[in-house]
Structure 1
Amino acid sequence: MHAPTEEQAAFRRAAVELLEAPRGVIKSTAGAGCGKTTALKGAALDCRKAGASRLLVLAFSKNLVTDLQATFGDVAAVRTFNSLAFEWARNSITGRNVGQIYAAHVIEAFDLNSKKLPIDHVHFAKVIIGVLSNYCYSSNREISRHHIPSWVQDPVVGDLAAKYAQVLFNALRPGAKTRLNLPHDVYVKAWQLDGCNGLSAFDQVYMDEANDATDVMLSCLAFARRACYVGDAGQQIFSFRGSKDAMLKVPGRQYPLTLSFRFGPQIANLANEILSKKTTPPPITLRGMAGKAGRIGPVPSKEPHTRLFRTNTGVIRDALVLGDMAESYAITGDTSDIREKIYSTYALMRNSSREARHPAYAFFKTHDDLAQWAASNPLSEIGLIYDLARDYSERERDLDKILSNRHPPNNPRIQLMTCIRAKGREFNNVVVRDDFRTRSTSGFRPPSPTQLDDELNLLYVAVTRARYCVELQPEF
């Protein structure tokens, strides 16, 4: 490891000092490329030298676990919240599949078709799922009106759905006798309610990317004796999943990291400019490495680069064009889910509802049903997919071939991925495509400050993936 900066050294010393306290929290607000993981590993190494034997790093996904485990080696265990909770739940879920539930499952479980409801049974089932999701992301012990989605206007519908959601949670949680899938969020919530068995056994717990922690995750971490949070408020891009910036919510001594090792001053200045437009700009100013190459402008036409998109449909549209041009490209990430959704869309366009296999399409019986819903929800994933399928109505086989992704080139000149897939990664040259929604140039103006903040965070993540060159196509 390189010698730590003064900022990193201060954080590492604080982590060692924390071992002397019975309980406590320290935090490090860090910019993109500022060595968050390096600081965490340094803290873990220093704590091991100081006598700590059980250290835990918490990551958000299996992919990040693999990367972080390679970094930390045997210094610390690397786990996800899901894996810890699933280990606790494993013995009580024999015979059940783990996976998402949809409106069709809820309708069948409660036999909603036979009940008199204030709204149609499909929409009521979706309200129930919305209440359940909000509850599972929360730190609360019981479901209440607080968990009713904001888009539910009728209080009678909301109150009734909350009662159904409580019954549904009890029927889904580990140990329940049911054939229904066990959603990941449900067993994590059940683990939290049970006291997060195992967390208090660690001498210190490190939370990487704490900017994306949900309230239930923060509640789980309260069971750890000592915790170190590291995160970047500008990279909070999972608010749609209930994430809350732990750097703002959790009290603790603050140790900022502001010097980015990834890029030079030009890219750092662009990142700061993007975040300055948020309703609450971050408390730190990102600094680029002096003398390090980096620029804002067009990527040379033949130069290898990564294209970042806000949406999966943006990725697919570019893939079609690049394929037609016989360009060398590859899509990064699992495309099986969106492939099934596109197949279901084409099936409904042929009015073959039986072939629309994706559960999200279960209640569209005809092309007209889908078209009307897409017209009312044009910015939803289903709405965007419908527009894609309509624009390429004669190219279903081409889309299926693209999304099958069976034989990607070994060294493609162009990588295509969503911004969410790119989080935590870095590339030499980045082209930020124009499907971001920060201004009306993309046909959309976020109607609220919160939504605008979310869009600016996405754009910040995209531009800060680059080491050398950023081509920024959306205006902001």
Structure 2
Amino acid sequence: MIYVGDPYQQIYEWRGAVNAVAQIDAPECALTESFRFGPTFAALASRLLVRLGERTPLRGQDSMGSILVEDPSIAPPVDAVLCRKNVTAIWQLAAGLEAGDRPAIRMSPAEIAAYADGADQLLAGQRTFRPAAFSLFENWAEVQAFSRTPFGQDLQPVVRIVDELGTGYLRALAQRCAPEKQADYVISTVHRAKGLEWKRVRVANDFRFRGADGSPVPDDDEIRLLYVAITRARHVLDISSMRDELVRLVARGR
């Protein structure tokens, strides 16, 4: 029996997932060569893995062309946009539709509508428990105030939609998604993109580049999430929106 796994793709720790491979008592061999992408992406991924204590570099295929996009003015076409949070994915959906694109999103209409329903309840001064992101607040004013703090910035996209366009607009978004096979590109959270790949990927800048305690280095689970995000692309990886933060992170890992 052969067990195959990547401990650095453990991204469901917050749900209680554990690294089961670490509990297997068997001889170990390293699989370090990726057939998905070329040396450019492999080098970036390896520099991230150094932050997690890995000393064996990941290798890419020399025959595969991999283009790393770092200039935000270039904006190449993509097949997938990857986000850390659901609210960022919803914002990317709205931005794509307003730009005339036909995006798909790896969220159900009910999941998107839940943000509108929860906002309506909070606007009426009632508590809500769906979505979970709203469950700690007594009213919408508390959500607005929290979104303006360093700890609540994740909520800013959905707060802006509700404040500027209303919950009706948010509900309409859920009905305007294109099927994935007919879409110009797919919008997904990194968690829902695990195990998938696309030719051209853009990574949104909604990751946490500081630790939960305010330290200048992200927690290990956040670095693992970044690692999964940047290894979904085969030929084009657009990191332009997060270039400066990512460069500082990998520079610390040298």
With structure 2 as the length reference, what TM-score do the two structures score?
0.79
Structure 1 match to 2:194: 423
Classify 1:446/1:399 alpha carbon distance in 2 versus 1 (closer, same or farther; 3 Å).
same
User: 1:403 deviation in Å?
Assistant: 2.4
Q: 1:288 aligns with which of 60, 63, 76?
A: 60
Would the aligned equivalents of 2:118 and 2:131 in 1 still touch at CA under 8 Å?
Answer: no
**Residues in 1 aligned to 2:75 and 2:193: alpha-carbon distance in whole angstroms:** 22
User: 1:414 deviation in Å?
Assistant: 2.4
Deviations 1:393-449 (A, max 9, x none): 1422221121245654743222211101110001001111111112xxxxx544369
Larger radius of gyration: 1
Structure 2 match to 1:460: 227
Structure 1 match to 2:250: none
Classify 1:451/1:335 alpha carbon distance in 2 versus 1 (closer, same or farther; 3 Å).
farther
Would the aligned equivalents of 1:340 and 1:358 in 2 still touch at CA under 8 Å?
Answer: yes
**Residues in 1 aligned to 2:145 and 2:219: alpha-carbon distance in whole angstroms:** 27
Structure 1 match to 2:157: 388
Unaligned residue ranges in structure 2 (runs of 5+)? 247-254
Deviations 1:362-389 (A, max 9, x none): 785544565677678944xxx744x334
**Residues in 1 aligned to 2:47 and 2:145: alpha-carbon distance in whole angstroms:** 40
Would the aligned equivalents of 1:264 and 1:290 in 2 still touch at CA under 8 Å?
Answer: yes
Unaligned residue ranges in structure 1 (runs of 5+)? 1-14, 16-227, 439-443
Would the aligned equivalents of 2:43 and 2:57 in 1 still touch at CA under 8 Å?
Answer: no
Classify 1:449/1:244 alpha carbon distance in 2 versus 1 (closer, same or farther; 3 Å).
farther
Larger relative contact order (Cα-Cα within 8 Å, sequence gap ≥ 6): 2
Q: Which residues in structure 2 correspond to 1:239-258 (within 5 Å)?
A: 239-258=13-32
**Residues in 2 aligned to 1:371 and 1:434: alpha-carbon distance in whole angstroms:** 21
Q: Which amino acid is the alignment partner of residue 401 of structure 1?
A: A
Would the aligned equivalents of 1:308 and 1:430 in 2 still touch at CA under 8 Å?
Answer: yes
> How many percent identity over aligned positions?
28
Structure 2 match to 1:324: 98
The answer as to 2:123 corresponding to 1:346 is: no
Q: Which amino acid is the alignment partner of residue 466 of structure 1?
A: A
Number of residue pairs aligned between Structure 1 and Structure 2 = 237
User: 1:329 deviation in Å?
Assistant: 1.4
Deviations 1:46-75 (A, max 9, x none): xxxxxxxxxxxxxxxxxxxxxxxxxxxxxx
Structure 2 match to 1:434: 205
Q: Which amino acid is the alignment partner of residue 336 of structure 1?
A: A
Q: Which amino acid is the alignment partner of residue 437 of structure 1?
A: R
**Residues in 1 aligned to 2:116 and 2:42: alpha-carbon distance in whole angstroms:** 38
**Secondary structure at the counterpart of residue 219 of structure 2:** helix
Would the aligned equivalents of 1:236 and 1:245 in 2 still touch at CA under 8 Å?
Answer: yes
**Residues in 2 aligned to 1:255 and 1:243: alpha-carbon distance in whole angstroms:** 23
**Residues in 2 aligned to 1:437 and 1:296: alpha-carbon distance in whole angstroms:** 21
Would the aligned equivalents of 1:425 and 1:465 in 2 still touch at CA under 8 Å?
Answer: yes
Would the aligned equivalents of 1:303 and 1:413 in 2 still touch at CA under 8 Å?
Answer: no
Structure 2 match to 1:112: none
Structure 2 match to 1:414: 185
Q: Which residues in structure 2 correspond to 1:243-282 (within 5 Å)?
A: 243-278=17-52, 280-281=53-54
RMSD of equivalent CA atoms: 3.1
